[in-house]
Copies of this chain bind each other. A is one copy, B any other.
């Protein structure tokens, strides 16, 4: 049985991403204004449900029970569903998936989704320490297994098995930072990163240098999802959720069968394409989870944009750039935009919404884009979450 009622994205917007002086609450309000402040025929009273994606407000903003707080900040009084979802780096997409399920089921008609994270604190010790609890803290976190060393191991293994090079990884970063220079909301909007410069940045965890890693970022984003019969009330150009896929295969690092191959992503992508009745080559663009450059390269392969082991060549040939087979991360990716955990998945959806409406800035608009994918991973690439969106057809 497939979902029974079509769900449309009818609006989206986001805060500026970066090292912000704004509080958690101010980020929510800034994104709320951008996402919900100028929708045709829209009243805040229309919103029957609110889904908040947030990874660690308890530690990073010393605030829990954040869903009703966000509702109050946004002026919503949800009378159908209110909840916060957490799935570490995929928390934002998790919120969108919950809204999608609720509307599909007929349990909500108009659902606001907000993703948010405030990660830069007066002292960064708390923020950095908190990243060690994403993996099993008793078995992995305690040994220092945070994201950089894990993805560094993935890169080492991918280089060994497939000949992937540091230069190819730098090409991912160069492309995404170039795209970020078309995006005033991006953390690295005004920064230039040539490949030569990237290859000289400090080493974080070999072979990953600073420019191979996404950053600790403050930001928020929002989208409005509605049932199909309401879509044209709010916009002439709704964007539709076409399919989803998700897979979880292990948590403790000892359960990862391979570092260079991510079977959970392959399975999740196949389910997403199956449910959307589409194939990888049908997509015009993809927003994928480039938390590190090696991630994007492995994602090309597991999603099916190229054969296994050919991800490095794929970026080198420009196949993931404008004019290539599929434009990957046109908003600038996590590398260029920064990675406020709960906000990322929602910000990717905002980009896809604008791209499929044809309203992205000309410097990054994918001409005639009709179909797009959003991918998030969480933890040690043990959970993969995907959604496929399509414009009106």
Contacts and interface: CB of A to CB of B under 8 A. Distances in A.
Interface of A: 1-5, 23, 25, 50, 55-56, 58-59, 62-69, 71-72, 76-88, 94, 97-98, 100-102, 104-107, 109, 130, 133-138, 227, 244, 246-252, 255, 267-268, 271, 378-379, 382-383
A157 to B, nearest CB: 21
A144 to B, nearest CB: 15
A267 B25 CA distance: 27
Nearest to A97: B81
A22 B86 CA distance: 24
Nearest to A7: B105
A68 B133 contact: no
Contacts of A2: 106
Contacts of A58: 56, 58-59, 130, 133
A136 B69 contact: yes
Contacts of A271: 79-80
Contacts of A133: 58, 62-65
Given A63-B133, A271-B79, A378 B3 contact: no
How many copies the complex holds: the figure is: 2
Contacts of A100: 105, 107
Given A23-B138, A64-B133, A76-B248, 19 more contacts: A3-B105, A4-B5, A5-B105, A25-B138, A50-B248, A56-B58, A64-B88, A65-B86, A67-B87, A68-B382, A77-B249, A79-B268, A82-B246, A82-B248, A83-B85, A85-B86, A98-B101, A100-B105, A101-B105
A22 to B, nearest CB: 13
A236 to B, nearest CB: 24
Contacts of A4: 4-5, 105-106
A209 to B, nearest CB: 26
Contact of A64 (B50, B78, B134): B134
A151 to B, nearest CB: 15
A71 B251 contact: yes
Nearest to A131: B64
Contact of A79 (B23, B78, B247, B255): B247
A76 B64 CA distance: 28
A69 B251 contact: yes
Given A3-B106, A105-B4, A83 B79 contact: no
Contacts of A136: 63, 69
B87 A82 contact: yes
Per CB-CB distance, the 4 closest pairs between chain A and chain B, nearest first, are: A104-B105, A1-B106, A65-B88, A105-B105
A226 B147 CA distance: 36
A4 B105 CA distance: 6
A117 to B, nearest CB: 12
Contact of A59 (B50, B55, B59, B77): B59
7 contacts: A64-B130, A78-B248, A80-B271, A82-B246, A83-B86, A83-B87, A107-B244
Contact of A72 (B3, B55, B255): B255
Nearest to A270: B79
Given A83-B86, A98-B101, A101-B107, A68 B251 contact: yes
Nearest to A25: B138
Among A69, A97, A248, A268: residue with most chain B CB under 10 A:
A248
